[in-house]
Chain A
Amino acid sequence: MIITNIESIPGREVIEHYGIAQGSSVRAKHVGRDFMAGLKNLFGGELRGYTELLSESRDEAMERMIKQAQSMGANAIVNVRFSTSAITVGASEIFAYGTAVKVQ
């Protein structure tokens, strides 16, 4: 599966379009992580727990998008975009979407 966020796959020709493939993931952090992050927030700097959490979440959203594209029969996704939103306090949604295509 080749994924890009531009409108083509360089060096390949798009032969078929399948429409939008999407994947999302809503995650909340657990209390321990939250507490540690709060503690770290006093001194500033990177909050590693949250960085990891969001990268897991983003990987999951991407995986779901890829699965959907595969079920359509695509072998590439172009023009991928991401959006993040805070649903409630302590949980955020990561959404990934793109156009599933078949390339040579």
Chain B
Amino acid sequence: MIQLGFVLILLIAGYIFGTAREKSHFISLRDREQKLNMISWRSTGKKEVFEGVSESTLVMGHVVIGQDYFKSFLAGLINLVGGRVSVYETLLDRGRREALCRLRQVAKDWGGTEVVNVRFETALIGQNQGKQRAGAVEIFAYGTVVK
């Protein structure tokens, strides 16, 4: 009974804090994306011949992002019936946008104008022993900035 109560408290706390943090994260992402408008990015350009480019360098951005207790519990339930696991879709969306924002921020600080050949990589991090539940994901973005 005590255990059940404990889980319930964790679920409620996870729901309240997790939702609030997700909301503020999306707001901050939108703001930063607007500020980084002038740094364009694309996934092409690997074999391109760049005219009028004097300098270039590798830039990276990454983030490790975790799911809250409520949403991972919900994902476990969805897993039973199958279908779209929307709680993880938003998590990965947040992670990708965050990693891209950081990458573009580095590119901006460096004085670049465009990031080419952007690649994303996703890795599972800190999976708890024996537990199926994914602890966190690392999303890593890298590309070449030119100016």
CA A80 – CA B62 in complex, angstroms? 16
A residues apposed to B, CB below 8 Å: 2-11, 29, 34, 37-38, 40-48, 50-51, 54-55, 58, 79-86, 89-90, 92
Q: Which residue of chain A is the closest to B72 with respect to CB atoms?
A: A41
Q: With contacts defined as CB atoms under 8 Å apart, how many contacts are there between chain A and chain B in the complex?
A: 138
Chain B residues within 8 Å of A41, by CB? 66-69, 135-136
Interface size band for B: 35 or more
A37–B60 Cα distance when bound, in Å, is: 23
Whether A4 touches B53, Cβ cut-off 8 Å, given contacts A44-B17, A89-B127, is: no
How many angstroms from the CA of A9 to the CA of B144 in the assembled complex? 10
- Chain A at the B interface: SS class: mixed
Cα A55 to Cα B127 in complex, Å, equals 19
Tell me, yes or no, whether B146 is within 8 Å of chain A by CB: yes
Residue from the list B10, B116, B127, B128 in contact with A42, Cβ < 8 A? B10
Q: Which residues of B contact A7 (CB under 8 A)?
A: 46-47
Given contacts A6-B144, A11-B53, A82-B140, contact A58 B66 (CB under 8 A): no
Contact check, A85 vs B123: say whether CB atoms are below 8 A apart: yes
Residues of B within 8 A of A42 (CB): 10, 13-14, 17, 68-69
Report how far A43 CA is from B11 CA in the complex, Å: 9
Cβ-closest chain B residue relative to A81: B119
* Chain A residue nearest in CB terms to B19: A44
Pairs across A and B, CB under 8 Å, 27 listed: A2-B56, A3-B57, A4-B57, A5-B119, A8-B47, A10-B50, A11-B50, A11-B56, A37-B126, A42-B10, A42-B13, A42-B68, A42-B69, A44-B65, A44-B69, A45-B21, A45-B65, A46-B63, A47-B125, A47-B136, A50-B64, A50-B125, A51-B62, A79-B46, A82-B142, A86-B127, A92-B123
